[in-house]
Amino acid sequence: MKPVPLWVDCDPGIDDVLALMYLCGRRDVEWIGISTVHGNVDATRGATNALVALETARGPSVPVLIGVDRPLVHWSPVAEDEHGRNGLGDVVVVAPRQRPTAGLGPVQLARAAAARPGELVVLALGPLTNLAVALLIDPDLPRNVRELYIMGGAVHVPGNTTPAAEFNIWHDPEAAHVVLSAPWAATLVSLDVTEQALLEGEYWNALEAAQGAKARLAALMLARWVEARRIRTGRAAAGLHDPVAAAIALAPTLAEYETTPVRVDVSQGPDRGRTSAAPDSLGFPVRCATRLDRERFLADFMTQITSP
Ligand code: RIB
Ligand code: CA
């Protein structure tokens, strides 16, 4: 099967780094570019961490471009509590050899899509600020992009940042509204499915026992999340939000879907950032993942992350 021409927009961040390392192991990916956005960390730190992920995974040389370093309208802080000051769970790593590529993420994303109309698959793993700016730069972007996969939202389940909202949408709801209202072939991979694939039990033990560089970095970063969730809920487990979205982008049959327009709450109240199915609205339909083949995903993820 022909490799997927892939652009990843992300805010690395612990699970973004896991997703990038997972993708580095997949032979069905043709890397086009990576852009970073303000979210878990600032966009510059995100670019450094994306390069850490690529070099730890001994992946290909991929252009990493720094993107927009603040939400579109209202300021929102980075997620230091969740991802640590360095965005890697405060795990100390060797600085990457490569440096970010000159240019602005959204501009280069729009150019890459226009250069290969109808071919690019875009995977958005952070707040949607870069995607919104790219849309404003080039209104033809939805036509140029073959498919857009978004890790974000919480449609029929509670949020993880407020009871109403998931982090990527909550961090920049105005950008999410612009993106989810546009005429793409868009798939939303929300907490409704990513929370179905927690890393725990035998999978966690196997990761801790693995000796490769990817597995060791993953285990060191995820230890923070496993312990935090154990204290919070009594369940020693870690969410793999971005790797789930990455796996679905390459194998959509991993999930089941409902297709509906999606409404984003952009108010300043307690519902800010809520994503709701809006079947009666006139918005463009979004394919929303509702169910994940957990075992198939975890087997694939573990194979990639524990390989040397
Ligand atoms: O809510 C989970 C999402 O927010 C993930 O993409 C994580 O990296 C954070 O950005
Ligand atoms: Ca992310």
Q: Which residue from 21, 83, 88, 151 has its CB within 8 A of the most atoms of ligand 1, so it is best to mutate? A: 151
- 155 CA to centre of ligand 1 in angstroms: 15
- The pTM assigned to this predicted structure is 0.98
Task: Answer yes or no: 11 catalytic.
Answer: yes
**CB-based contact 261:279 (threshold 8 Å):** yes
CB of 151 closer than 6 A to ligand 1? Answer: yes
For the stretch 134-191, pLDDT in tens is 999 999 999 999 999 999 999 999 999 999 999 999 999 999 999 999 999 999 999 9
**Which stretches of the chain score pLDDT less than 70?**
none
For 88, 134, 160, 163, 218, the CA distances from 81, given in Å and listed in that order, are 11, 29, 13, 18, 18
Give the span between the Cα atoms of 236 and 131, in whole angstroms.
34
Helix (H) or strand (E) holding 245: helix 241-250
Where along the chain do its domains lie? 4-306
CB of 241 closer than 6 A to ligand 1? Answer: yes
Give the span between the Cα atoms of 129 and 235, in whole angstroms.
33
For the stretch 79-90, pLDDT in tens is 999 999 999 999
Query: Among 283, 262, 57, 264, which residue's Cα sits nearest to residue 177?
Result: 264
Task: Answer yes or no: 74 catalytic.
Answer: no
Query: Of all atoms in ligand 1, which is nearest to the CA of residue 191?
Result: 1
Under CATH, which architecture does the 4-306 domain have?
Answer: Alpha-Beta Complex (3.90)
Ligand nearest to the CA of 221: 1
Ligand nearest to the CA of 241: 1
What confidence score (pLDDT) does residue 175 get? 98
Give the span between the Cα atoms of 165 and 298, in whole angstroms.
25
- 86 CA to centre of ligand 1 in angstroms: 15
What confidence score (pLDDT) does residue 47 get? 98
Give the span between the Cα atoms of 297 and 287, in whole angstroms.
19
